[in-house]
């Protein structure tokens, strides 16, 4: 059984690896290698971008020059 200091180190190290994999777009591979395939879901982004889109400002849109 791990003592509290070792357990905290493991948690910090695992968290750092998850953050890094996410930033490097490798989170899916990391989760698969750790056996967490059930956590991988298809990407259904709420926000979609469109280069021909428009910017909508909600609220105060006054511009000071």
Q: Say if CB 53 and CB 61 are below 8 A apart.
A: no
Predicted TM-score (pTM) of the model is 0.57
Tens digits of residue pLDDT in 1-19: 778 889 899 999 999 999 9
CA-nearest of 5, 9, 32, 30 to 19 is: 30
Tens digits of residue pLDDT in 27-41: 999 999 999 988 887
Give CA–CA dist 28/21, Å, rounded.
8
């Amino acid at each position: 059984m791990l003592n509290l200091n070792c357990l905290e180190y493991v948690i910090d190290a695992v968290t750092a690896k998850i953050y890094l994999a996410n930033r490097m777009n490798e989170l899916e591979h990391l989760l698969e290698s750790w056996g967490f395939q059930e956590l991988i879901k298809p990407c259904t982004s709420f926000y979609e971008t469109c280069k021909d889109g428009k910017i909508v400002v909600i609220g105060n849109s006054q511009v000071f020059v």
